[in-house]
Structure 1
Amino acid sequence: MTHILAKYLVDARYEDLPANVRKEGVRTLMNWVGVAVGGSREDPVKRSIAALRPFSGPPQASLLGRTERFDIMNAAFINGVSSHIFDYDDTHLKTIIHPAGPVASAILAFSEYHPVSGKDFLNALVLGVETECRIGNAVYPNHYDVGWHITGTCGVFGSAAAIGKLLGLSEQRMVWALGLAASQPVGLRESFGSMNKSFNPGRAATNGIFAALLAAQDYTSSDGMIEAKRGWANTISTKQDYREITEGLGQRYESLLNTYKPFACGIVIHPAIDAAIQLRNQYHLTPDMIARVDLRVHPLVIELTGKKTPQIGLEGKFSIYHSVAVALIDGAAGEKQYSDQAVRDPRTVALREKVTATIDPAIQPQQVDMTITLKDGRKLHKFIEHAIGSQEVPMTDQQLETKFEGLTDGILSQAATRVLMDRCWQVESLPSAAAIAQAAVPQG
């Protein structure tokens, strides 16, 4: 399996990518740049800079949304952290992998040091996403259920594959790169609700670069590190479906299944937020009108987001109670609704105490059944089959731009934001992909 995947990665050309795959790759890039700039002023980024600055090498690459420059390894790590802080990044719903963080963070930093055309950049991004998501398909959900953070454990393969492609690795060296990536799984679900969660895609980006650079110098690994008896898949999962990795390579693209979040929190909360906002807007609800909110949800919702009394913004992202409350109060669930201040707001605290979530095995993870009981006795009902931002109800390009503008507000000027968005949309025509990173640096 490792050799089959490596051969595909080595042979795959930009010209082979179907137009819809290229388009979705551009949308993936667009969304990632916005969330990376948006998270650039948050505490985990500041702490990462303070911790790593004394040990950083030459200033080779930009930190999106900031003026500091770091070596490629540390820049990739920090941009990966920044892009995941708000839990607002892209999501491959089949595996709950956030694909862009590990891959885009790695190749954008690399492109500032090693010349990369926009077409080659996009090809590497798509191939990296394809690699991590296919490997994720092979072990999901068992691998995830036992406690691994799949974005980190599979993201490292995406980063290694993408960097290996840009380095022009041979098939054997690509095999070694994937093998070295397999030796570096990172991320546990216990980290959710803490800064450690955003560490995982950042570290996966760095680990993938590390693997590809070593392989380029003939640093060897096993030739079957993914599928061997004591290899990656058998060691960290009780499920191994290797057909998911190799079947339809170059014909079926996982990147077409990527989705983009309209809400800055765990994906399983999105149906409840969507329902709350729709009912709020339809009936012009205010908190003082509401007696109780009853939800029927899939068991995974409570497992992942059952924090009833979050104390900080990061915990709020894993609280369906907080999320429904802010959605009803503000009609939104962006990064501002997940600040420490928002989580402790007395109005929000009072309303979230009226929210009850009950497990119903008949409800699918992408669904919710919401009933709001008003103080005047009326009952308002909403069932969400597919939330906005899903494959069935995708965000439009214009909605992605609106999200992007909200994330960069206060960091980049409106004019600079427009330039940055245009460079993302036009990545395929850029002589150098580094122009994207350069446009993401605040001026003055």
Structure 2
Amino acid sequence: MNDPKRRNFLKASAAGALAAAAPALPGVASAATDDKPAANVPAKAPGKVTQTLARYIVNARYEDLPANVRKEGTRTLLNWVGVAVGGSRHETVDRAVAALAPFSGPQQAGLFGRKERFDIMNAAFLNGVASHIFDFDDTHLKTIIHPAGPVASAILALSEYRPVSGKEFLNALVLGVETECRIGNAVYPNHYDVGWHITGTAGVFGSAAAAGKLLGLSEQQMVWALGLAASQPVGLRESFGSMNKSFNPGRAASNGLFAAILASKDYTSSDGMIEAKRGWANTISTKQDYREITEGLGQRYEAALNTYKPFACGIVIHPAIDAAIQLRNAEHLKADQIERIDLKVHPLVLELTGKKTPQQGLEGKFSVYHSVAVAIIEGAAGEKQYSDRAVRDPQVIALRDRVNAVVDPAIRPEQVDMTITLKDGRKLHKFIEHAVGSLEVPMTDAQLEAKFRDLAQGVLPDAQVRRLMDACWQVESLNSAAQIVKAGTLQA
């Protein structure tokens, strides 16, 4: 669940989280140093933006990645594989598989959590769809892009088609995430505000860059790949709440892969498709800050700022859920002890998640009332807590009706002030400054594994889940990245 009005929260959450430095790669243009342009005022491109970015991608080496960036890339992979497995049996994937199977080409690549195999284009699409269905994937807070879906889906499919080492794969994954997030920075929030789903529109650049890197594109071919990606923006926010939403990162994955493969055979594009007067940025946004794309390449990493959701809903509810679970666990609370739960929240919380009586699981993701109630009762807010079963549970409904939320201008979007009044008259209080899963309070590796296991339960056998997690953690030592897909699919 995304919304442009969250930008103040997201920017604040990302502020100060800078990645470790690494030497800039040769041939990367230096950025301008004057003040950034005001929003809604088109910026003059500082040189050849598309070419500068392409040169960086082509020359960037795994050895140049700082240790913290490699680590975050590995965590990004683990989290993405977990949500892809978890979403693999959803009816959305079932319907897409049924629709595309008659038209699929050779069985080149697998689908996480399933037996079917598809050609790499359709496999990239389907795995991208599966990974986004639960809205539980990674989030680049500055742009609210979900970075891994378009990139990992594309290059894991490609890794089954041609040999790719684990180190090559991780380097490409980081470069893809870096590319899409930098391009997203250049146009966010204006591009998002008018209705584009930025995970799809910027994600296609990430998948093209990552696939192009693994295909060994030349600088000119990479320029063309980025240009062909620019010609395929996909995703409108009107799709949110439908199967179409997860279509967007899936299509961004296959479109980017498509662009890179065409470019590998010298299929041309304009050399300035990102920054040209009638190029991507000027066409789909009223803000263009090209220095976000070219500044500090090889020195600072947006990929190091990725975050992972502990709760399967939009991040504006995360502080309230975190507070509820902390009070529940500390006080051993039961629903029948509670008289009322009062929340002081930022206006966005009620604007985005003010549904008081959700009837379906998906609606529960848009209800702060349900989220707090189910968190108190079940001590979690994973996908199981946003099922039809959970939102219709009489006990959850009864507690939900005792949750009250009011707007407080002093509360920032990343905060919540919660008071629980018990029937014996006691009052319990919790103020959350930054919720778990934020940059300030990141999920631990153990928490990511627990999330993974919960998502994979009932999809893969427990022993296979462990092997799959190990393959993700050990990606840098793998001879073939295709081992990850093999570990995460079922035998036909």
TM-score normalised per structure 1:
0.96
- Verify the 8 A CA contact 1:194 1:315 in the aligned structure 2: no
In structure 1, the residue matched to 2:441 is 393
- The equivalences for 1:110-125 within 5 A come to 110-125=158-173
**Map of 2:308 onto structure 1:** 260
Mapped to 2, the partners of 1:228 and 1:308 lie a distance apart of 47
- Counterparts of 1:50-65 in structure 2, within 5 Å, are 50-65=98-113
The amino acid across from 2:86 in the alignment is: G
1:84 paired residue among 108, 128, 132: 132
Distance 1:239 1:306, change over 3 A: farther
Change (3 A) 1:214 1:300: farther
Change (3 A) 1:329 1:244: same
Aligned counterpart in structure 1 of residue 204 of structure 2, from 134, 146, 156: 156
- Tell me if 1:437 matches 2:485: yes
Give, in whole Å, the separation in 2 of the partners of 1:208 and 1:425. 26
Residue identity in the other structure for 2:382: G
How far 1:417 sits from its partner (Å)? 1.4
Tell whether 2:78 aligns with 1:20. Answer: no
Aligned to 1:244: 292
CA distance in 2, matches of 1:303, 1:348: 22
Structure 2: gaps spanning 5 or more residues: 1-48
1:6 counterpart residue number: 54
CA 1:304/1:184 → structure 2, altered by over 3 Å: closer, same or farther? farther
The answer on whether the counterparts of 1:193 and 1:317 sit within 8 Å (CA) in structure 2 is no
Does residue 355 of structure 1 match 2:428? no
Match of 1:101 among 149, 171, 175: 149
2:224 to 159, 170, 176: 176
- How far the C-alpha of 1:120 sits from its partner, in A, is 0.6
Give the distance between the partners of 2:327 and 2:134, measured in 1 at CA. 25
1:405-432, CA deviations, whole angstroms, 9 ceiling, x for partnerless residues? 1221122222211211111111111111
Aligned equivalent of 1:139, options 161, 183, 187:
187
Task: Summarize the alignment of residues 297-308 of structure 1 with structure 2, pairs less than 5 Å apart.
Answer: 297-308=345-356
CA distance in 2, matches of 1:64, 1:330: 28
Distance 1:376 1:265, change over 3 A: same
Q: Give the Cα separation in 2 of the matches to 1:358 and 1:221.
A: 52
Please tell me whether residue 44 in structure 1 is matched to residue 87 in structure 2. Answer: no
Q: How far off is 1:251 after superposition?
A: 0.7
Deviation at 1:246, TM superposition (A): 0.8
Aligned partner (choices 323, 333, 339) of residue 285 of structure 1: 333
**Letter matched to residue 421 of structure 2:** T
Alignment partner, residue 273 of structure 1: 321
Deviation at 1:443, TM superposition (A): 4.5
**Distance in structure 2 (CA, Å) of the matches to 1:140 and 1:358:** 29
- Distance in 2 between the 1:197 and 1:326 partners? 25
Report what 2:416 is aligned to.
Answer: 368
Matching of residue 419 in structure 1 with residue 467 in structure 2? yes
After superposition, the C-alpha distances for 1:373-398 in whole angstroms (9 at most, x for unaligned) are 33344332211111111111111112
Which amino acid in structure 1 is aligned with residue 103 of structure 2? Answer: F
CA distance in structure 2 between the aligned counterparts of 1:295 and 1:203, rounded to whole angstroms: 39
Alignment map for 1:220-231 (pairs within 5 Å): 220-231=268-279
**Correspondent of 1:75 among 123, 128, 151:** 123
Alpha-carbon distance change, 320 to 245 in structure 1, aligned in 2, over 3 angstroms: same
- TM-aligned CA distance change 1:347 to 1:256, over 3 Å: same
Deviation track 1:188-245 (CA, whole Å, cap 9, x = no partner) reads: 2222222222111111111111111122222222222212222222222222211111
The aligned runs of 1:202-217 (5 Å cut-off) are: 202-217=250-265
Q: How large is the RMSD of aligned CA atoms in angstroms? A: 1.6
Residues in 2 aligned to 1:258 and 1:63: alpha-carbon distance in whole angstroms: 24
Counterpart CA distance in 2 for 1:192 and 1:136 is 19
Checking the alignment, whether the CA contact within 8 Å between 1:411 and 1:442 is kept in structure 2 is no
Task: Give 2:81's aligned amino acid.
Answer: V
Distance 1:173 1:307 in 2: 49
The answer on whether the counterparts of 1:87 and 1:317 sit within 8 Å (CA) in structure 2 is: no
Give, as a single letter, the amino acid of the residue that structure 2 aligns with 1:407: L
Q: What amino acid is aligned across from residue 380 of structure 1 in structure 2?
A: L
The residue identity in structure 1 corresponding to 2:196 is W
DSSP 3-state at the match of 2:330 = helix
Deviates further, 291-300 or 111-120: 291-300
- Give 3-state SS (helix, strand or coil) of 1:112's partner: helix
- State which drifts further: 354-363 or 59-68: 354-363
Q: In 2, Cα distance between the equivalents of 1:54 and 1:339?
A: 31
Q: CA–CA distance in 1 between the matches of 2:110 and 2:84?
A: 12
In the superposition, relative to structure 1, how do residues 223 and 322 fare at CA in structure 2: closer, same or farther (>3 Å)?
A: same
Describe the shift of the 1:264–1:185 C-alpha distance in structure 2 as closer, same or farther (beyond 3 A). Answer: same
Please state how far the C-alpha of 1:18 moved relative to its aligned partner.
Answer: 1.0
Distance in 1, matches of 2:446 and 2:235, equals 33
Distance 2:432 2:363 in 1: 24
The CA deviation at 1:339 is 1.0
Q: How does the TM-score come out when normalised to structure 2?
A: 0.87
Question: Hey, what's the Cα distance between the residues in 1 that align with 2:81 and 2:201?
Answer: 22
Q: Measured at CA, do residues 167 and 361 of structure 1 come closer, stay the same or move farther in structure 2, by a change above 3 Å?
A: farther
- Are the equivalent residues in 2 in contact too, given 1:194–1:314 (CA < 8 A)? no
Are positions 1:410 and 2:458 aligned together? Answer: yes
Q: Would you say 1:296 and 2:329 are equivalent positions?
A: no
Give 1:364 shift.
2.2
Please, which moves more after superposition, 274-283 or 311-320? 311-320
SS at match of 2:185: helix
CA distance in 2 between partners of 1:289 and 1:155 (Å) = 47
SS of 1:439's partner is helix
CA distance in 2, matches of 1:136, 1:296: 32
